[in-house]
Structure 1
Amino acid sequence: MQNPDIYSVSRLNSEVRLTLELQFQTLWLQGEVSNFVAAASGHWYFSLKDSAAQVKCAMFKMANRNSTFRPQNGQQVLIRARISVYEPRGEYQLLAEFIEPAGAGLLKQQFEQLKAKLQGEGLFDPERKKALPAQVRRVGVITSPTGAAVRDIVTVLKRRAPGIEVIIYPSQVQGDTAAAQLRNMLSSAIRRNEVDVLIIGRGGGSLEDLWCFNDEALCRAVAACPIPIVSAVGHEIDFALTDFVADVRAPTPSAAAELVSPDQSHLLDRILQLKSRLQQAQRTILQHAAPKLLNLSQRLLALHPKRRLQQQQQRLDELQLRLSASAKRKLQSAQQQQLYLDKSLRQLSPVKTLLAHTQHLTELERRLTNAQHLRLKHSKQQLAQLSLQLNTVSPLATLARGYSITFDDKQQVVTSSQQLKAGDKVVVKLADGGFDAEVTRLRQADQ
């Protein structure tokens, strides 16, 4: 090849993303949520999986901030999303725009899919719808014979046109067998061909309660009914597929009775009929224009600078999550190292040695105390013995036997009469007290 067009990886991923985003419009998916992460930026990242495969999804803050539902791992959800590519890794992913729990959301999806299918086949076209008869003698009502709807219809007809005969075709209007019974009653009314107009419907309820009126076979039978038929399902805000395929849709059973009964003002009836047809035509025009508008908006969104910003935001969230995980691992490693060092420190701690020395010191202290007590006891015994011996030779003991000690005026002990002379004053010490005396006469030792 001469001068081949060599792609860079970035260019390839960018062109693949643009191709996917322009090729595929918004789609609905149902699956189980796994690996859900709510980033600090407010963006959500998760995987949507079934039993055989999975796909990565991102729901940016601008899309999820008004959502009343926050998905959790293991939940079955229904999402509306666009296909894209996360260019930094070349990964195919879905960008979710709407999310809700599976169940009621799945019923809504099935409702919209069947509605689109029937509309595509032309069953909603105003041209195929029959006008209500100007003169009505008998009205057939396909509904529950015990419900509030039949009572409202009969009451309105008696008030507006008492001469109209009402024939009830009883059927369940809720539950698994209701759709089959409604089809059977419709077939019976067509076969008997005894009424000028039919009313099919019931009172208000949830989407699940009204689901039998979204049965495909019933809708086709209503569209093919040769008798003009009015669909009156629920309240004014409720819609069922029979409302779109029937010749006329009434907001309530009471309103249906008013539509099929003559009124004093035929002009008002004509205006209401034209208004209904105009609204139906407007809805049809809008429904045909919606796919084209959606395609143009998808192309504009794919080329919008916000897509590049979202890619960068997703990359930033990824790096932030990786940084957080790395910091967490380092922290865990440091904690483990600290535990190891703490264990080693406890093994090498001088506490054990200090405890042993403390115990030895306590033992030595106890032995020293005992030795002191023994030494003190022995010393007391010696002291008592010496005191006894000392007492034996003590002059006090001699005094106690009747002897005395004489002191001169200089407090010197007198041991010889030669130390005194007549007239000297002396002090005589006895065992108990003493007295003062004056020497009057001296005696020699042999006297």
Structure 2
Amino acid sequence: MSAREHEIYDVVGIGFGPSNLSLAISLEEHRANVLTNPITSAFFERQPRFGWHRNMLLPSATMQISFLKDLVTFRNPVSRYSFVSFLHASGRLAQFVNRQDFFPTRAEFHQYLEWAESSLSNVVTYSSSVTGIRLPPEVAHDRPEYLRIDVTDEGGGTRTVDARNVVISTGLVPRMPDGIARHERVWHSSEFLSRYGRTEPGDLKRVAVVGAGQSAAEITKFLYERLPHAQITAIMPSYGYSVADDTPFANQIFDAGAVDEYYFGTERARDAFWRYHKNTNYGVVDDAVIRHLYEIQYEEEVRETKRLHFRNLTKVSSVEHTGSETRVHLVSQLDGPQPFLDVDAIVFATGYDSLDPSRLLGDLDRFCLRDESGRHRVERDYRLVTTPDLPIGIYLQGGTEHTHGLTSSLLSNIAVRSGEIADSIIQRRAERELIPAGALQAADS
């Protein structure tokens, strides 16, 4: 395929969402400061173009983090890839400041990500899925210096590239309740806007939304406002929406220094992190959205009309399709089975499962060490702990909540996290170049 096909890259990134985009910027800024022998990299992304949660770019939905927690600022405040640089380039810096708001809309932040990506299109190949990572045949019985990456494009064409380090950032996997599959009338929030856009609004007279987190509340609000003729039912396992704790002391959980506190802390300390601060991010909703939905409910009480319905302490037990009908079976934690609910569409905002590298690693997974709970062990620099037989760096951007805490896959720490991975790769290369391979083998024997 490409002349680059047989080059050995210092870094191959699998996936090109915000995390690996931030890493690519960090490596690019390192290259700009190095006169000779710069770090080489290539990234592969299965999507046809850059995109980050496109199906949740709801009108007026805002980010839940400050604009300063962009791709670079906490690592390099003078980077040309900052959100402030984007605003300046877009001619909106003064207007944004006049808003007096730390939180841009999600749509504008996505514009920023696309703007940053546009300067790095030379390092990423889209419509390309990495199907496996393996030892090259010629080094299968030795300590390898690189791994072979198998890549398939959208037309079925294949290629291989070699990497001295691999950074896996394939994102989160949408989670559906057990026994419930996606369908033309059963959606996950990760596909919401595309599904909604392919459906005639007039055909949506009865819609249900399952979940009690930010996405569920935002979709419920969106549907109520966009479908004035429809009955909207919010089904949640809790008694109501819980507010996200974004107060200053709680927000310290997302500081870069908190990663060290978590990583090097005792099991008791780690448990306290989750017990006391899970409500900063998981299963919670911004205060403004909660108040807006409650105001709708109250106004409907005053007008003696009812279009927005809340099924609290309730779960979906099953969904069945009969002809053109979709029937939802419910179970209340108070009263047991409930009358079924017929819907034209139901949206499951039921979250995501974290990244699991095992599928991609395949046979290489046997070199990766695990803890007592069977989870991958991970170094502080986000590198998988491997046996001496595999000295190559395999880094994770996500899937490290058990070792690095709440910020493992979040934007809050993206600049520092990606910078630490880049620094680790650069440092390990410097150490490798100073020590001849024969000396390494002698030291191991």
Whether these two folds match at TM > 0.5 is: no
Larger radius of gyration: 1
* TM tier relative to shorter chain: under 0.3
TM-score (norm 1): 0.22
Greater relative contact order (Cα 8 A, min sep 6): structure 1 or 2?
2
